[in-house]
């Protein structure tokens, strides 16, 4: 069995028994433990003169190798091209997309530097699995150094339709880099179709009879692999933490009121202002809910050095203050807005206590919170998922969720009302429909499908 070499912007702790924070880390570690391998990426540290040697730590058959960035690399590669150009562009926010040749050059410089740091560690029959928008040119850089290993790329964000993508001055170079991989994986069929459309329209690509795509002189597999969660583990853990002290404290504080919960990174792609407005609309147009419903939004700040993230934070503070000021009573405050994160197990307890999971991104690659919310419910008395049609999770969960358009604030309020008044039988039915998808398509299934696709790629380079 070939070793797997995972490359991602950040690397999770690999030591056995160390709690990993999320499904991706769990899946990647499981893949690596099975075959042995390396997890390579940025250490998260910014230093003046980073060492040319990666920092290595080992645990069984598994090695983690990390490198530091300089301040300039961090600004140009991470805050710059990755998070101020590609992130907004891939989330259809042309209005927020900045482009500069300086950050673009920094992005390439860091990708090339990372590739040259990993290169000496690679073996002939390794399979390289690169993750996410930070590292699109990584595989091409390795190829240029003569590496012929099987290489796969997985994009966690959406891939935009060609009309959006071509706004990027270097769109062709970016897509050409992707074609250096043997397998290019997306979250959904929608993303895959958008990528294929670009290749057909802009690159004269050809789709072969076996489904592979020929473009830029290479033949690649382009496939959707919707990412998922550790379904059985989440079910068990959520049932266990239902009686935890924190979950109990939350329930006590609700005093039998219904809870609507939102959990996101504080990011403009998550549709938080529209969500707050929808809750405002619920209180305005369905006044029976006043005093009887609480909306709790957990949103820890991220990417705080990118100005757009400061702007959205300020906007939400104003909105939350406004809505609370308008509707609060001396014994009831409608919105609990928390700018902090909680341990995974605590969140699962919160999900289980919530009548509605409100997940309304304007665009999202997948949105694992939606899946986690569903898996955390009590099957005997489950809550309702209100889910944006623009989340990658929507096609899989449409059999059970109330699907909404997040821009339609009144429509979201209507669905909230429907969820709050939904009879138990219907809630159970909807929950079961979603659970049967999540049981079959869990994170293990995602990992196996990707690794299988990569294993069967021809070893050609
Ligand atoms: P994110 O944009 O971070 O991820 P999401 O999928 O919702 O979005 O969350 C990833 C993980 O972080 C989940 O396990 C979730 O529980 C956790 N998380 C989210 N918000 C949190 C909070 N406030 N506090 C604590 N934990 C929180 C990117 C893409 C998504 C894609 C994932 C995985 O943007 O579309 O689903 O990668 O591919």
Summarize pLDDT for 350-393 with one digit per residue, the tens: 999 999 999 999 999 999 999 999 999 999 999 999 999 999 99
Using the mean position of ligand 1's atoms as its centre, give its distance from the Cα of residue 219 in Å.
32
- Select from 23, 91, 265, 347 the residue to mutate for testing ligand 1; criterion: most ligand atoms less than 8 Å from CB: 265
pLDDT for the residue 461 = 47
Contact 344, 21 (CB under 8 A): yes
pLDDT tens digit string along 219-234? 999 999 999 999 999 9
Residue 15 — very low, low, confident or very high, per pLDDT cuts 50/70/90?
A: confident
Query: Given the CA of residue 391, which atom of ligand 1 is nearest to it?
Result: 35
- Are 171 and 254 within one domain? no
CATH number at residue 122: 3.40.50.2000
pLDDT tens digit string along 399-429? 999 999 999 999 999 999 999 999 999 999 9
Please state, in angstroms and rounded to a whole number, the distance separating the CA atoms of residues 459 and 71.
38
Using the mean position of ligand 1's atoms as its centre, give its distance from the Cα of residue 98 in Å.
24
Residue 461 domain flag: no
Residue 22 — very low, low, confident or very high, per pLDDT cuts 50/70/90?
A: low
- Are 193 and 313 within one domain? no
pLDDT tens digit string along 79-106? 999 999 999 999 999 999 999 999 999 9
- Are 116 and 216 within one domain? yes
CB of 372 closer than 6 A to ligand 1?
yes
- Are 287 and 303 within one domain? yes
Q: Is the pLDDT of residue 73 over 90?
A: yes
- Select from 272, 369, 385, 441 the residue to mutate for testing ligand 1; criterion: most ligand atoms less than 8 Å from CB: 369
pLDDT for the residue 87 = 97
- Are 135 and 268 within one domain? no
- Are 49 and 107 within one domain? yes
Using the mean position of ligand 1's atoms as its centre, give its distance from the Cα of residue 369 in Å.
6
Residue 460 domain flag: no
- Select from 21, 186, 313, 367 the residue to mutate for testing ligand 1; criterion: most ligand atoms less than 8 Å from CB: 367
CB of 364 closer than 6 A to ligand 1?
yes
Q: Which domain, by its residues, includes 179?
A: 4-228+443-455
Query: Mean pLDDT of all residues in the chain?
Result: 95
Using the mean position of ligand 1's atoms as its centre, give its distance from the Cα of residue 341 in Å.
12
CB of 377 closer than 6 A to ligand 1?
no
Q: Considering its fold, how many domains does the chain have in total? A: 2
Instruction: Return the percentage of the chain with pLDDT > 70, whole number.
Output: 98
Q: Is the pLDDT of residue 139 over 50?
A: yes
CB of 23 closer than 6 A to ligand 1?
yes
Active site residues: 156, 364
- Are 422 and 450 within one domain? no
Residue 257 domain flag: yes
- Are 374 and 327 within one domain? yes
- Are 197 and 239 within one domain? no
- Are 196 and 263 within one domain? no
pLDDT tens digit string along 268-289? 999 999 999 999 999 999 999 9
- Are 396 and 250 within one domain? yes
- Are 311 and 395 within one domain? yes
Q: Which residue, 115, 127, 107, 133, is CA-closest to 186?
A: 133
Using the mean position of ligand 1's atoms as its centre, give its distance from the Cα of residue 50 in Å.
30
Residue 125 domain flag: yes
Rounded to an integer, the average pLDDT of 164-169 is: 98
pLDDT for the residue 459 = 66
């Amino acid at each position: 069995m070939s070793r797997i070499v995972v490359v991602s912007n950040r690397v999770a702790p690999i030591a056995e028994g160390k709690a990993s924070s999320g499904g991706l880390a769990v899946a990647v570690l499981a893949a690596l433990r099975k075959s042995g391998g390396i997890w390579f990426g940025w250490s998260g540290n910014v230093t003046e003169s980073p060492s040319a040697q990666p920092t290595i730590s080992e645990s069984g058959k598994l090695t983690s190798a990390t490198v530091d960035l300089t301040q300039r690399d961090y600004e140009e590669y991470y805050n710059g091209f990755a998070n101020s150009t590609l992130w907004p562009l891939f989330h259809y926010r042309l209005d927020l997309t900045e482009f500069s040749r300086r950050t673009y050059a920094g992005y390439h410089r860091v990708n090339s530097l990372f590739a040259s740091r990993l290169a000496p560690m690679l073996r002939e029959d390794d399979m390289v699995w690169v993750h996410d928008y930070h590292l699109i040119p990584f595989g091409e850089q390795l190829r240029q150094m003569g590496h012929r290993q099987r290489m796969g790329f997985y994009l966690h964000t959406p891939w935009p339709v060609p009309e959006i993508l071509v706004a990027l001055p270097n769109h062709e170079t970016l897509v050409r880099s992707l074609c250096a991989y043997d397998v290019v994986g997306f979250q959904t069929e929608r993303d895959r179709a958008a990528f294929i459309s670009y290749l057909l329209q802009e690159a004269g690509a050809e789709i072969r009879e076996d489904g592979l795509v020929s473009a830029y002189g290479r033949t690649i597999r382009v496939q959707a692999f919707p990412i998922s969660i550790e379904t059985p583990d989440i079910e068990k853990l959520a049932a266990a933490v239902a009686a935890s002290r924190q979950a109990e404290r939350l329930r006590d504080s609700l005093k039998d009121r219904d809870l609507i919960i939102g959990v996101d990174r504080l990011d403009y792609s998550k549709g938080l202002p529209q969500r707050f407005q929808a809750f405002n609309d619920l209180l305005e147009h369905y006044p029976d809910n006043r005093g009887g419903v609480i909306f709790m939004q957990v949103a820890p700040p991220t990417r705080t050095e990118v100005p757009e993230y400061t702007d959205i934070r300020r906007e939400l503070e104003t909105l939350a203050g406004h809505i609370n000021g308008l509707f609060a009573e001396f014994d009831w405050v409608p919105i609990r807005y928390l700018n902090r994160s909680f341990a995974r197990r605590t969140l699962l307890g919160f999900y289980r206590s919530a009548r509605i999971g409100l997940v309304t991104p304007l665009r999202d690659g997948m949105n694992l919170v939606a899946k986690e919310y569903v898996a955390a419910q009590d099957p005997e008395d489950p809550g309702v998922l209100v889910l944006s049609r623009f989340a990658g999770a929507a096609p899989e969960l449409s059999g059970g969720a109330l699907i909404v358009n997040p821009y339609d604030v009144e429509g979201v309020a209507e669905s909230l009302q429907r969820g709050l008044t939904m009879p138990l039988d219907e809630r159970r039915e909807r929950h079961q429909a979603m659970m049967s998808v999540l049981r079959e398509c869990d994170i293990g299934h995602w990992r196996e499908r990707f690794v299988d696709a990569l294993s069967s790629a021809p070893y050609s380079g």
